[in-house]
Amino acid sequence: MTATTQQALPVASGRETAREVWRLSRGHRLRLAAVAGLGIVSAAVDLIGPVAAGFLVDRVQTGTAGLGTVLTVATTMAVAAVLGAAGTAATIVLATRAYHAILAALREQLVARALTLPQHRVERAGTGDLISRSSDDVTAVADAAPAVIPVVTVTAFTIVVSLGGLAALEWPYAAAFAVVLPVYVLAMRWYLRTGPPVYRAERAAMSARAQQILESQRGYATVLGFGLTEQRHRAVMAASWGVAVQSLRARTVQSMLNARLNVGECLSLAAVLVVGFVLIEGGTSTVGAATTAMLLVLRLLGPVNQLLFVIDTLQSALASLSRMIGVATIPADAAAGPSPAGAAAGPSPAPGAGTSVRLHEVAFSYDDGPLVLDAVTLDIGSGERVAVVGASGAGKTTLATVIAGIHPPDAGTVARPERTAVITQEVHVFAGSLRDNLTLAAPDATDREIEDAMETTGSAGLFDLLPDGLDSVVGAGGHPLTDAQAQQLALARLLLADPDLAILDEATAEAGSAHAGLLDRATDAALAGRTGLVIAHRLSQAAACDRIVVMEHGRITEEGTHDELLSAHGIYARLWEAWDSRRGSA
């Protein structure tokens, strides 16, 4: 596979795309064989019209055509037209069903694979890239169906059968048309050399635009808070103009291809007319045969132009298809990418007896930036609750993501339980029922278990606010939840999921001090009986933990209980004094 950048998600090569489409066609190949057979028969039936017209011209020229001849020819042409149209329609319907069935299977595979990609890989590639592949690219492939299917499944058969009919009629006519074919070949060679890079650039520009729009939407509060509206507007406009420029390039290529096809059409008609004149003058052909040849060529020119011209659409769809397959076929064992130099390869070693989490000499940096974690060694015992505190930028959240497996370490080893759950301060409420939101990680949970989890986390009061209880629709388009309610919901999810290790990364920071006590009690209930790692926003949370880890500049500088660290008069003691004084003054 190839990629536009070292960190970008992969793009499948032409061979890989063809191999994957062939694999996905399994179960539809009998239908595809029926498409081919029916398409050839329909194209052969359509030859009856030109042959009948040539026959009538010869009979008229010899004076042997009567009313019966005209009616017979007209009836034959009408029946052939109806049968040909019916066969063509059936061919398109069968091909469309197969096409969309294969596309649906690919879309499901793409979504399933995208949902299992490590977060660090998606972030480095840009979330907009993945969203573009699962939306814009899927739409491009689906929208290509009305233009591509009739051409590929019908006109291809028409070209083959019509060329055979020309050769059977008078080989010089077929030779005359064949002489002009290099014009089409040259047009295609030019287009295949020029078109694909233009369309790839267009799709890449769309990905960049999606990324800018997504960042502006996700960072809406930051944009408003720092007065960055104009700056973000310029960034989105610049990305949009990038799409416009690449789209204009693509349309220019399209127009240039159209001009080359028009030249080929004029030369084809002229060549057949000249050959017909020569053959009739020499007495080796008839006016009827020349008429049939011209009708066949006219019948050929449309499909030839359509087949070549639809390649414009096909190239764009293939570019999108390759991007989709590039993600859908990422091997599960390669999703996390190659192990960084010095990092442990393969699965993490199991922690020792009585230990739930073990980090040894762990280092991590974002891309080529400075170390965010530097030689971190930490053991967390089974059932122990550890808080991580420190100034902003100390590496607390990065430590949590490395322990959770979201980011692999650059060096060192990380061992953690297989059943690990993470709650961050950005709690998402999915559009759907309250029950669906709560059972995301525990689909077999009963209503009684759900109600117990809500009671334990103090969120049972939601039943009094929501009209339909667990069936009430929440999230977008439904009943809005406050920050505190959303965080209670997340803690109830945690209880239902029942992980061995729970990581709370400032999970109750967004609700504000008014609900601090309520959420602290909910957190205590959710962590009871399990190993917990708490990135503490409020030091009162840290004080309630079994052990506190203080971080500074990516290193662990202090460890101990709340009382031990206060007695040490170190960093934690100063942080506590500052926090306690602010709390007292408030």
Answer yes or no: is 344 within a domain.
no
At residue 335, φ and ψ (nearest 5 deg) are: -60, -35
pLDDT band at 531 (very low <50, low <70, confident <90, very high): very high
Q: 129: domain range?
A: 14-334
Residues 73 and 189 in one domain: yes
Helices (H), 126-170: 127-134, 136-143, 145-150, 156-169
Which of 334, 367, 387 is the C-terminal boundary of a domain? 334
Q: How far is the C-alpha of 575 from the C-alpha of 451, rounded, in Å?
A: 39
Q: What is the pLDDT of residue 344?
A: 39
Residues 295 and 382 in one domain: no
Answer yes or no: is 327 within a domain.
yes
Which of 302, 334, 366 is the C-terminal boundary of a domain? 334
Q: What is the pLDDT of residue 32?
A: 84
Answer yes or no: is 346 within a domain.
no
Q: Give the position of tokens 């959303």.
A: 486
pLDDT band at 533 (very low <50, low <70, confident <90, very high): very high
Residues 458 and 580 in one domain: yes
Show the tokens assigned to 359: 């980090």
- If one counts every other C-beta atom within 10 angstroms of the C-beta of residue 535, the result is 23
Q: Percent of the chain, pLDDT > 70? A: 90
Residues 321 and 362 in one domain: no
Asked if 423 and 505 touch (Cβ cutoff 8 Å), the reply is yes
Q: Percent of the chain, pLDDT > 90? A: 11
CATH of the domain at 173: 1.20.1560.10
Q: How far is the C-alpha of 81 from the C-alpha of 77, rounded, in Å?
A: 6
Residues 271 and 404 in one domain: no
Q: How far is the C-alpha of 220 from the C-alpha of 206, rounded, in Å?
A: 21
Residues 388 and 455 in one domain: yes
pLDDT band at 179 (very low <50, low <70, confident <90, very high): confident
pLDDT at 340 over 60: no
133 to each of 8, 98, 204, 349, 390, how far by Cα in Å?
12, 22, 10, 35, 39
Tally the C-alpha atoms within 13 A of residue 465's C-alpha that lie toward its C-beta. Answer: 13
Least confident interval from 71-85, 123-137, 317-331: 123-137
Residues 245 and 323 in one domain: yes
Residues 321 and 417 in one domain: no
How many domains are there within the chain?
A: 2
Asked if 117 and 130 touch (Cβ cutoff 8 Å), the reply is yes
Q: What angle do CA 72, 76, 82 make, to 5 degrees?
A: 145
Local structure of residue 427 (DSSP, 8 states): P
pLDDT band at 361 (very low <50, low <70, confident <90, very high): very high
Least confident interval from 48-52, 397-401, 424-428, 558-562: 48-52
pLDDT at 343 over 70: no
Residues 282 and 368 in one domain: no
pLDDT at 338 over 70: no
pLDDT at 337 over 50: no
pLDDT band at 555 (very low <50, low <70, confident <90, very high): very high
Full DSSP string of 347-402: SPPPPPTTEEEEEEEEEEESTTS-EEEEEEEEEEETT-EEEEE-STTSSHHHHHHH
Q: How far is the C-alpha of 502 from the C-alpha of 417, rounded, in Å?
A: 10
Asked if 287 and 61 touch (Cβ cutoff 8 Å), the reply is yes
Nearest Cα to 458, choosing from 545, 516, 502, 416?
A: 516
Q: Which of 44-48, 124-128, 447-451 has the highest mean pLDDT?
A: 447-451
* Burial call 454-464: b when 16+ CB within 10 Å, e when fewer: bebbbbeebee
Q: What is the pLDDT of residue 1?
A: 52
Q: How far is the C-alpha of 258 from the C-alpha of 261, rounded, in Å?
A: 5
Residues 462-483 have pLDDT tens digits of 777 778 888 888 887 788 888 8
What predicted TM-score, i.e. pTM, was given to this entire model? 0.57
Which residues pair with residue 506 across a beta bridge? Answer: none
Residues 37 and 146 in one domain: yes
Answer yes or no: is 7 within a domain.
no
Q: How far is the C-alpha of 192 from the C-alpha of 186, rounded, in Å?
A: 10
- The three-state secondary structure class of 484 is helix
Name the average pLDDT for the chain: 81
Show the tokens assigned to 268: 């084809």
Q: How far is the C-alpha of 517 from the C-alpha of 174, rounded, in Å?
A: 88
Residues 415 and 452 in one domain: yes
pLDDT at 17 over 70: yes
Residues 193-251 have pLDDT tens digits of 888 788 888 878 888 888 888 888 878 777 777 777 888 888 889 989 989 998 898 88
Q: Cβ neighbours of residue 162 under 8 Å, at least 6 residues apart? A: 43, 47, 296, 299, 300, 303
Q: What is the pLDDT of residue 558?
A: 92
Q: How far is the C-alpha of 557 from the C-alpha of 183, rounded, in Å?
A: 75
Answer yes or no: is 573 within a domain.
yes
Answer yes or no: is 243 within a domain.
yes
pLDDT band at 339 (very low <50, low <70, confident <90, very high): very low
Answer yes or no: is 5 within a domain.
no
Answer yes or no: is 29 within a domain.
yes
Residues 266 and 170 in one domain: yes
Show the tokens assigned to 568: 């040490």
CATH of the domain at 456: 3.40.50.300
Q: What is the pLDDT of residue 353?
A: 54
Q: Give the position of tokens 């061919």.
A: 91
